Amino acid sequence: MTLAPRYDLLIVGGGPAGSMLALLTARAGLRVRLFDHALFPRPKACGGVLCPRAVAHVDEAGLGARLTAAGAEPIRSIHVYGPDGRRTVLPYGEGLALERERLDVCFLEAAAAAGAEICAGARVDELHLDAGRWPARLRYRTRDGRGGEALGAWVAGAGGAHCPVRRRLAGAGGGRGLTRPPAAGGAVAVSAVLEGCVAPAGVCEMHLLGGGYCGVSAAGGGRTTVGMVLPAAAWRRLGAPPSASLALALAAHPSLAGRMEPLRVAAGPWASGPLRTRPPQEAAPGVVLLGDALARMEPITGEGMAEALSAARRVARWLVRSADPRTAPELHRRLAAQIRPARRRSALAAALSRAPRTSRLALACVRHFPPLARIAGESIAGRKWTQAGGHAPGRWQQKETRL
């Protein structure tokens, strides 16, 4: 009988959160294996923007040059367009924009180079937990039908809102994708990559549509990423699945349609939703969730990626410092508390996008009072602006609570 291989950490999900965790823990000497049902590069509904706080995590991990070589474009300011079409410019710092397919590959390649075992194209079928030294027994099946097992002292769920680890903790089912008009409630995001440039160099645009919002940014290589978020009811009124309705939704907003019509869709559209999910109440020993598997937030502020990378750093520090699986529930509580402020900010910004009068008033205040513009830019960038401590003006510093 062949014994299942044993690892210090099993990771389910090969997005930025999972691959960053694999990279950091493998560098620290842990034996790590990462599973994802997809083969990379893979399509993914995402704006592909890394806010300055996320870029700080990327640079600290030594991945900045890798993203630049892949064609990442700098983002230095946010242009917010209100429902009346008026533009408000917010300071931002140094962000990056890159097509999500290339972004995922950059992270995974770095994790593999650090020594993590990458098992792409493998769907996790079962996850058995117990209170022993090796609490997780994971069973998977590859695309060619072969099955396998792996044992891990810890297992991390980083596979998004439908991650099998999250479903195992919550005792819920659920499938992937949105192939039909969504049910009532919640918001749905649809994104596509267009051949050609729309947004000015160094700029990420955010259009508040009155019933939702649309982001436009460079994707690298002369392409543009467009991502629109509308309530599920708005997509249903278009009479087609969200992934087939982006052109219809853009046509409903002349300021966007006139700019997008000349461009050809190079990839997508893809749909994702509902966007807001809450963290599970409890975690089992040896199990941790991060990224969208922990909790999903509205993408309007762009903090989701930063929170995912930040959680990966925190979990890696925790595992290196304390490998006892019984500490997992405490780690879960701390991660859920850390993400709460960002979730509130994104929910507030999304609510403003759906309230035309309030959003017009808020943007008018920001235009007339520069300190408010700075505060709004700081919130979207996810970091604190400072000129103290000997740093040059314009330097962004991260302020995080350590676990």
Rounded CA-CA distance 318/335 in Å is: 11
> Which of 10-24, 36-50, 74-88 is most confident?
10-24
**pLDDT > 90? residue 247:** no
What is the model's pLDDT at position 302?
Answer: 83
CA angle 56, 58, 64 (to 5 degrees): 105
Q: Are 120 and 104 in contact (CB under 8 A)?
A: no
Phi-psi region for residue 272, left (φ > 0), alpha (ψ -120 to 50) or beta?
beta
The three-state (H, E, C) secondary structure of the chain, written as one string: CCCCCEEEEEEECCCHHHHHHHHHHHHCCCCEEEEECCCCCCCCCCCCEECHHHHHHHHHCCCHHHHHHCCCEEEEEEEEECCCCCEEEEEEEEEEECCHHHHHHHHHHHHHHCCCEEEECEEEEEEEECCCCCCEEEEEEECCCCEEEEEEEEEEECCCCCCHHHHHHHCCCCCCCCCCCCCCCCEEEEEEEEECCCCCCCEEEEEECCCCEEEEEEEECCEEEEEEEEEHHHHHHCCCCHHHCHHHHHHCCHHHHHHHCCCEEEEEEEEECCCCECCCCCCCCCEEECHHHCCECCHHHCHHHHHHHHHHHHHHHHHHHCCCHHHHHHHHHHHHHHHHHHHHHHHHHHHHHCCHHHHHHHHHHHHHCHHHHHHHHHHHHCCEECCCCCCCCCCEECCCCCC
**pLDDT > 60? residue 386:** no
**pLDDT > 70? residue 108:** yes
* Each residue's pLDDT tens digit, 52-69: 989 999 999 999 999 999
**pLDDT > 80? residue 289:** yes
What is the model's pLDDT at position 312?
Answer: 96
Tell me the one-letter amino acid at 397.
Answer: Q
**pLDDT > 80? residue 195:** yes
* Each residue's pLDDT tens digit, 338-384: 999 888 888 888 888 888 888 888 888 888 887 877 777 777 766 55
Rounded CA-CA distance 313/330 in Å is: 16
* Each residue's pLDDT tens digit, 294-318: 988 888 888 889 999 999 999 999 9
Q: Are 315 and 10 in contact (CB under 8 A)?
A: no
- By percentage, how much of the chain surpasses pLDDT 90? 30
What is the model's pLDDT at position 393?
Answer: 33
Domains within the chain, CATH numbers bracketed: 6-44+102-177+276-350 (3.50.50.60)
What pTM does this model have?
A: 0.88
Which pair of structure tokens corresponds to residue 193? 């990559």
Tell me the one-letter amino acid at 212.
Answer: G
Q: Are 260 and 194 in contact (CB under 8 A)?
A: yes
User: What mean pLDDT value characterizes the chain?
Assistant: 82
Q: Are 396 and 383 in contact (CB under 8 A)?
A: yes
Mean pLDDT of 101-106: 93
